[in-house]
Chain A
């Protein structure tokens, strides 16, 4: 699978941020299996880019294609099919169900496309240090725990692209490394790409290329 951007420019961004960008208004191609790091300061459109790639927002000029197909022509059903099979995401704002347990939050993806066994889920939770939280309501977990829940949830499906939007903002250094390691392992097992957008380059992420969203 391939995701390509052709002269994509958000309709709300300042001109100077566009001219100095390696992504905005450029021709960019992401292939399955690649590790891409996108670095930019706050307010330069990282979250917007991830949302554009995931098909959540359409307020941009230019085109984004999945395997050559312009996603602006996709229906809600088309996006649902892509999100079940090919694209997974960790949101910056986590987007969990606060009234459900940690396990239910993880299994909500598992219902769509069963991928890992219950033991594997438990092992992942143990690896990221939330094994004893599985039956707790999500709203009672700390931000750091919620971020790890969101990461594990994103890994419960097949994918060719894993989109990460500042996935470690609430984690300490040790947990960041563990989470990154887990995600890289899972992506490699699927020969999938990781597109990680963050404020600064993450040294323990073995990126094939690093793109600057803006230098301003």
Chain B
């Protein structure tokens, strides 16, 4: 007669309370489905919004200006060195680049090629913050050719209005072939330069010239050196960081909320899905609590038999392990069913929600399987500990 569960089963009152046992299995299945589905949805959302993520290399680059109100509109709303220093100190800001604006008059025309002439503004900032910097974006003292990086949005805007003004439309490729005449003038004199658009930028919504050119021109034409920054570019890991948004709001700094729109949508969706996941965990806990009651009842009803087995020399650890092991196949079945339901729901999500079919893979993410395996092991361990505890109480 070997020492196996079958031989001690007659001493355990396992057949009663079938309803509470089945209810706990059902609850566990529902809880695990909720948890696994929320993890899968979380992964799906990240996958779906990845391409529209404004981040590059894991960072957000966001321009910050001071909010102009009726009260402060007559003040100098540029950033002081102290304010720049304060921004640098914040843990949620990885780097900053002050942007210097032109302090002189700047007029651009297309020379004899097009009947086009306009007053312009320009900015200069650290190249590290610009997404597209070709080698030709370079200026040295005395050079009359000035490279320009233009916001892609500006080109789009130009093209919208060009036809109405009898101007030709330009593609991104052809715009780099247009030579502009840049006329800089101010108290310090007048000078014409040849402007070349060398690249378009998706990140910087402005007209960018090299920093040393801006420094020279501000000094030469406006007689001003060390111009305070009117706008600051921030490099941060997460533009939706609450601490960052609160800090900017306290300082009365303004950011373009549209820049982080996808991040915000993602954040909201992730919040909802996390809530769903949290609810799943609660349901799992509830199911485990029901199962704990079932175990308690089974052990209470078998109390005298179990006490006698322990008195006769049965090891509490062996008894607990043996009873807990009997429950493992049940847990494996329940959790595998939950994984299958999650996989089916994922496939339904992929094929029934419009426009996402190509982005998502047909299979559930491997992490779902890992979580399911972890849940099986956790359930077995919790049961074992619970049975050991209940048995030791009997002695």
Does B295 interact with chain A (Cβ within 8 Å)? no
Chain A residues whose C-beta falls within 8 Å of the C-beta of B8 in the assembled complex: 111
- Nearest-Cβ distance from residue B169 to partner chain A, whole angstroms: 86
Check A76/B314 contact, CB under 8 A, given A97-B305, A108-B309, A111-B7: no
- Nearest-Cβ distance from residue A40 to partner chain B, whole angstroms: 23
Question: Residue-by-residue, is A72-87 near B (CB-CB < 8 Å gives 1, otherwise 0)?
Answer: 0000110111111000
* Cross-chain contact A81 with B312 (CB below 8 angstroms): no
Please measure, in the bound complex, the distance between the C-alpha atom of A51 and the C-alpha atom of B2, giving whole angstroms: 28
Residues facing B in A92-145 (CB within 8 A) are 95, 97, 99-100, 104, 107-112, 114
Please measure, in the bound complex, the distance between the C-alpha atom of A77 and the C-alpha atom of B320, giving whole angstroms: 12
Contact of B308 among A77, A95, A114 (CB under 8 A): A95
Contact of A84 among B2, B313, B395 (CB under 8 A): B313
Please measure, in the bound complex, the distance between the C-alpha atom of A84 and the C-alpha atom of B315, giving whole angstroms: 9
With both beta carbons as reference points, the residue of chain A lying nearest to B304 in the complex is identified as A97
Check A97/B310 contact, CB under 8 A, given A77-B316, A111-B2, A114-B1: no
Chain A residues whose C-beta falls within 8 Å of the C-beta of B142 in the assembled complex: none
Chain B residues whose C-beta falls within 8 Å of the C-beta of A99 in the assembled complex: 10
* Cross-chain contact B313 with A112 (CB below 8 angstroms): yes
Does B311 interact with chain A (Cβ within 8 Å)? yes
Check A80/B316 contact, CB under 8 A, given A56-B311, A97-B305: yes
Main secondary structure of the interface of A (DSSP, over half): helix
Does B317 interact with chain A (Cβ within 8 Å)? yes
- Nearest-Cβ distance from residue B347 to partner chain A, whole angstroms: 49
Check A104/B10 contact, CB under 8 A, given A76-B392, A95-B308: yes
* Cross-chain contact B316 with A83 (CB below 8 angstroms): no
Does B3 interact with chain A (Cβ within 8 Å)? yes
- Nearest-Cβ distance from residue A20 to partner chain B, whole angstroms: 31
Please measure, in the bound complex, the distance between the C-alpha atom of A112 and the C-alpha atom of B310, giving whole angstroms: 11
Chain A residues whose C-beta falls within 8 Å of the C-beta of B1 in the assembled complex: 107, 110-111, 114
- Nearest-Cβ distance from residue A57 to partner chain B, whole angstroms: 11
- Nearest-Cβ distance from residue A55 to partner chain B, whole angstroms: 10
Binding site for B on A (CB under 8 A): 56, 76-77, 79-84, 95, 97, 99-100, 104, 107-112, 114, 157
Binding site for A on B (CB under 8 A): 1-4, 7-8, 10-11, 305, 308-318, 392, 395
20 CB contacts below 8 A, A to B, read: A56-B311, A76-B316, A80-B310, A80-B315, A80-B316, A82-B313, A84-B315, A95-B308, A97-B11, A99-B10, A100-B10, A100-B11, A108-B312, A109-B312, A110-B1, A111-B1, A111-B3, A111-B7, A112-B312, A114-B1
A80-B318, A82-B313 given. 6 additional CB < 8 A pairs?
Answer: A56-B311, A80-B310, A80-B316, A100-B11, A111-B7, A112-B313
